[in-house]
Amino acid sequence: MQKILILDLGGPYTQHVARRVRECHVYCEVFPAARMTVEAVRAFDPIGIILSGGTAGVSSPNAPRVDKALYALGIPVLGICYAGNLIALDHGGTVEPGEDSRCHSRTLTKLDTDHVLFREHPEDAITWMCNGERITSLPEGFTVTASTANCPVAAFACEEKGLYGVRFHPEVPYTKGGVEMVRQFLYRVCGAVGDWHMETYAAETIQSIRERVGDGNVVLALSGGVDSSVAAALLSNAVGSRLTCIFVDHGMLRKDEGDQVEAIFSRMDLNFIRVNAREQFLSRLAGVTDPEEKRHIIGEEFLKVFEAEAARMGAVDFLAQGTIYPDVTELCHNYADVLQSPHKTGIHPEHIRFKELLEPLRPLFKEEVRALGRTMGLPETLVNRQPFPGPGLAIRIIGEITPEKIRILQEADHIFRSHLESAHIHDHITQYFAVLTDTQTIDITGADRSPKYILALRGVTTDDFMTAKWARLPYELLDNISHTIIQNVPEISRVVYDITSKPPATIEWE
């Protein structure tokens, strides 16, 4: 399989670059630029290299660099934004400081449409341009391939050396047709043939699982979320009834979710164990209000329940996990940590007696996992399932968790979600849910004017979960939802809609 190597220089969009490359059916991997020696690059054997953007300026003292020997490997290199400047500087060009290098804007850009990267584009394009440093003179043998009113060198190339630079980000949607530019680099410059497809991945992975597992047994922690469900389908296809899926129901799932997961998986040719551990979780969570403590307790209890079940099976040969690529990519910028650390209810392999770990989704992005799920014949309701945090409703009930609050939230959340689904709006919203606040306001409908809970509704659209916009829901729909909730959930006196984006807020409330 052909591979593209992406070297991360610390910019915020590195993961987008990787996703665009994969969308073009070319396999790629991301590595931190600082740790990739030229020997390691050779060993990786890529057909092309993409250097990502960065947050510093190339002339700042700690600016990330690449080994210049990289340019002489005979492998085409595309430098994006910061890396475009770096390529120019490394070859004797001049780069001068500009405005803040983190500041980007949509910019009218004149493209040389005879140039290989821009052949499919109109001459006047909109690009997501960095307002930082500017290339004021290009090295000898390099030509300008795009410019803007303020930036005479918005893109350049030295075809003879296989070097290409763009001062904008083709990988983000703000650059119109940017993915086509990436495609041109892959197919016309690097000679990609497009051999990365989920059908092939499924067939090859099933085969390799069979070879690795032999007649051993496999145990998988199944949450009912997309990743573990697709992993279950893949493993089940590979080893059939030698797979056991353990589904720990902690009692804080959405309404009817536990039964739905059970219904789907008990139909498959695998051993499905549902452990109802609601009491165990709720008793440990009694009186706990701190969100991180809630997460910690849930993680611990989850592990205990899972371990106890696995121990009953005796020695396990293989422990499988639904780890995906964003969980393991080492990106230089801060967001990688934000998404990784608290968000996987991680099983610590050292706690379970097993011989080997299987992670069949490890190289895949979320969209690829969904595509793989479709290839495996999983129902659309499961493949399209929105992300649901491991601790579940525990972090959507602000303050103390009680059985009554869980019931109230489940009912209200169900009404909210069903309305969006009936209005066919849910497909355009990445994540939507209700939050039970711990604030109460007066309800004037009852004789006693007793205080009741405020319920918050949240809907966001996002591509990467690092930033998110609040979803613009029609007023009529919101009105309908609010009425239905108030009528059917008597413990709620008020419904509010969260209109905060991320940043500054997070998607969840806790």
Active site residues: 81, 169, 171
The reply on whether position 342 binds ligand XMP by CB under 6 A is: yes
To ligand XMP, the closest distance from the beta carbon of 383 in angstroms equals 17
Residues 365-424 contacting ligand XMP, CB under 6 A: 387, 389-391
Residues 268-297 contacting ligand XMP, CB under 6 A: 295
Contacts for 248 with CB less than 8 Å, ≥ 6 apart: 221, 275, 277, 302, 305, 306, 309
The reply on whether position 506 binds ligand XMP by CB under 6 A is: yes
Q: What are phi and psi of 375, to 5 degrees?
A: -60, -35
Q: What are phi and psi of 117, to 5 degrees?
A: -70, -25
CA proximity to 376, closest of 241, 260, 227: 227
Mark residues 450-469: x for contact with ligand XMP by CB under 6 A, - for none. ---------------x----
Q: Which stretch binds ligand XMP (CB under 6 A): 139-147, 301-309, 339-347, 476-484?
A: 339-347
Tell me if 129 sits within 8 A of 154, measured CB to CB. Answer: yes
Name the burial class of residue 464, with classes exposed (0-12), middle (13-18) and buried (19+) by CB atoms within 10 angstroms of its CB: middle
Binding ligand XMP by CB under 6 A: which of 107, 127, 184, 431? Answer: 431
The Cα–Cα gap between 344 and 360 comes to 16
To ligand XMP, the closest distance from the beta carbon of 418 in angstroms equals 20
The Cα–Cα gap between 504 and 510 comes to 13
Q: Strand, helix or coil at 51? A: strand
Kindly tell me which of 155 and 230 has the beta carbon lying closer to ligand XMP: 230
Name the burial class of residue 358, with classes exposed (0-12), middle (13-18) and buried (19+) by CB atoms within 10 angstroms of its CB: buried
To ligand XMP, the closest distance from the beta carbon of 281 in angstroms equals 14
Kindly tell me which of 176 and 343 has the beta carbon lying closer to ligand XMP: 343
CB atoms within 10 A of CB 412: 28
Q: Which stretch binds ligand XMP (CB under 6 A): 71-79, 147-155, 414-422, 502-510?
A: 502-510
Mark residues 154-193: x for contact with ligand XMP by CB under 6 A, - for none. ----------------------------------------
Kindly tell me which of 127 and 223 has the beta carbon lying closer to ligand XMP: 223
Kindly tell me which of 202 and 222 has the beta carbon lying closer to ligand XMP: 222
Binding ligand XMP by CB under 6 A: which of 278, 343, 362, 469? Answer: 343
The Cα–Cα gap between 372 and 365 comes to 10
Q: Strand, helix or coil at 357? A: strand
Strand partners, 20: none
To ligand XMP, the closest distance from the beta carbon of 345 in angstroms equals 6
To ligand XMP, the closest distance from the beta carbon of 111 in angstroms equals 36
To ligand XMP, the closest distance from the beta carbon of 390 in angstroms equals 4
The Cα–Cα gap between 324 and 228 comes to 10
Query: Max CA-CA distance within the chain?
Result: 85
Element (H, E) at 259: helix 257-266
Rg of the chain taking only CA atoms, in angstroms: 26
Kindly tell me which of 177 and 346 has the beta carbon lying closer to ligand XMP: 346
Kindly tell me which of 60 and 386 has the beta carbon lying closer to ligand XMP: 386
The reply on whether position 139 binds ligand XMP by CB under 6 A is: no
Residues 187-216 contacting ligand XMP, CB under 6 A: none
Kindly tell me which of 12 and 48 has the beta carbon lying closer to ligand XMP: 12
Checking 375-384 for CB contacts under 8 A at 24+ apart, the result is 375/198, 375/199, 375/202, 376/202, 376/230, 376/233, 376/234, 376/237, 377/233, 378/229, 378/230, 378/233, 379/264, 382/224, 382/226, 382/229, 382/264, 383/226, 383/230, 384/427
Kindly tell me which of 10 and 391 has the beta carbon lying closer to ligand XMP: 391
List contacts with ligand XMP (CB under 6 A). 295, 342-344, 387, 389-391, 431, 465, 502, 506-508
